[in-house]
Structure 1
Amino acid sequence: MTPTPREVLQSIRREFAPEDGANRLIAPIEQGTAPLAVLRELAAQQHHVITSDRRSFLLLATRCSDSPVGGYFSRLADGESRALTALASFTAGCGRDAATGPGREPLAGCQSYPNYLAWLALNGDPTAVVLALTANFAAWGEYCAITARALRRRYGFDDASCAFFDFFAVPAPELEDEAVSVITAGGLTPERIALGRRYARLLQHYELLFWNTLAEQVPGLG
């Protein structure tokens, strides 16, 4: 029996879900042992990530402007704009002026994810990109939920300073429903599913590389 788009999404998500301990920074954050300097670096690197990803989604939306998937990518770009606003509050909460974020030097390991997404925006099959992104959002959302809790409990951050992570941590079933709809409209073939798996595998790898690059700055973890 041919799997449904939702079944394919769930299968890819399970296949590439990060193993426990693969993210070496999330435990120190959860325990409150990650230095504030590492959180400041996380904020700075996320500024580069979010601004790049927003442009990538807008490019994908332009490529698909005559199909339902174009609207999906446009809404993702709008979400990045809202996240960028919230990121400024997190940056300020870390004791760093938000205006200095763009001037911070990008770290290669932290920027591998947005660089690959930019490549996908130019070269990827849009429907396969939706498959991969939807799988990755689950891992990213879980890390954000853990971080938001730790910032409040361990670091004393207020709600405004946690809003960036809250935004991504809240499950958005309507977004997945829309992903299923656009994947259905785009059509699933074995070749497209294989591409989705390839994209997801690399996105998950670069997701972990972002966090683990920052983990190298935590004493005892480098």
Structure 2
Amino acid sequence: MLISCTSGVGIVANTHCLRFALVGLVVLLAITQPATADIATNQQDAKALVERLEKLYLKGPTPVFVLQLEKNTLPDAKLQAFAMEQRLINLSDLRSNALSLHRFGGRPGHNTRAFFTRITTAEIQANTQLPNLIQALGISPEQIAQYQPLAGAQAYPAYTTWLANYAEPAEIAAALLINFQSFGKNAARVAAALKQHKRLNNEQLRFLMTFSQLPEGFREQAIEIIARGLASGVRENDIAIRVRLIQSYEREFWRAFEVKLNAN
């Protein structure tokens, strides 16, 4: 807004105009200065929230599936079921992430678009890596066609589909950041056990090894998105709920393999 004091008549008019300009300047400073402070505060709050959620959800018990595989006592049928469940999850998450990119790709802030582009392309890459694992485990096309998914295992992608449709970017970013690390910890152990007991090579294990550590800058992108969400009114409690639920469904995924499969 431009204010001109040159059009008034006489000293009184110019004095009133000057006062108006000063009031406008004070209001402008009041708006812009706290906003800068709020950005830093929200960034700190977002980082602290992520750290609390990591402490809460990244120290859980090891799934029975992983423990049995490490002891080389896991039935092959359950190992094959794991790979086929992952195939279905990958196909679902690809569409969910693409939907999130469609919803939020035009939002202000480069990191929002970059984050959802990143997770979408990651699913595309995973789709090219997983067939090597499926083939290494001796799974035939007929088995894939006839496979009956486990409800407990497919609850996870059902929830990520819900997130893609209804959640805010901050909620999705927090949920995926925590879950990536949680699944990645177990995926790394599964990969190590398969290498030791099944003699699978790195190329066959590429899908699992991709999750062994966070991609560079992923955590920082997520924190910035969370900070923007907090600044826009998203509640920390809502973010924590999304993380709690996705981690609950993650546990259900692993527990699904504790039941007796028809193939056993």
TM-score over 0.5 (shorter chain): yes
* 1:31-68 CA-partner distances (Å, limit 9, x unpaired): 22112211111111111101101111111111102124
How much does 1:105 deviate?
2.1
For structure 1, list consecutive stretches of 5 or more residues without a partner in the other structure: none
- Partner in structure 2 of residue 27 of structure 1: 67
25, 31, 41: which is aligned to 2:81? Answer: 41
Pair member with larger Rg: 2
Q: State the 1:190 CA deviation.
A: 7.3
Q: Which residue of 2 aligns with 1:14?
A: 55
For residues 51 and 183 of structure 1, the distance between their equivalents in structure 2, rounded to whole angstroms, comes to 26
Task: Provide the C-alpha distance between the structure 2 equivalents of 1:144 and 1:98, rounded to a whole number of angstroms.
Answer: 24
Residue 241 of structure 2 corresponds to which residue in structure 1?
198
Query: Is the Cα contact below 8 Å between 2:187 and 2:208 reproduced in 1?
Result: yes
Partner residue, 2:121:
78
- For structure 1, which segment, 120-129 or 107-116, has the greater mean C-alpha deviation from structure 2 after superposition? 120-129
| Distance (whole Å) between structure 1 residues aligned to residue 47 and residue 92 of structure 2 | 28
2:29 corresponds in structure 1 to none
How many residues align structurally?
217
Is 1:138–2:178 an aligned residue pair? no
Contact 2:98 2:120 in 1 (8 A): yes
Q: Which amino acid aligns with 1:54?
A: L
Check whether the contact 2:57–2:182 (CA below 8 A) recurs between aligned residues: no
Match of 1:112 in 2: 155
1:147 is aligned, of 178, 190, 193, to 190
- C-alpha separation in 2, matches of 1:189 and 1:212: 37
User: Structure 2: any 5+ residue segments left out of the alignment?
Assistant: 1-40
Q: Post-superposition, which runs of at least 4 consecutive aligned residues in structure 1 deviate over 6 A?
A: none
Q: Is the 8 A contact 2:230 2:236 kept in 1?
A: no
* Contact 1:61 1:73 (8 Å CA) reproduced: yes
1:13–1:135: 8 Å Cα contact kept in structure 2? yes
Deviation at 1:189, TM superposition (A): 6.8
In structure 2, what is the equivalent of residue 4 of structure 1? 45
RMSD: 2.1
**1:98, distance to aligned residue in structure 2 (A):** 5.5
Partners of 2:143 and 2:130 in 1: how far apart? 12
Helix, strand or coil at the partner of 1:169:
coil
- Deviates further, 2-11 or 146-155: 2-11
Residue 155 (structure 1) shift: 1.6
Question: CA contact under 8 A between 1:24 and 1:215: conserved in structure 2?
Answer: yes
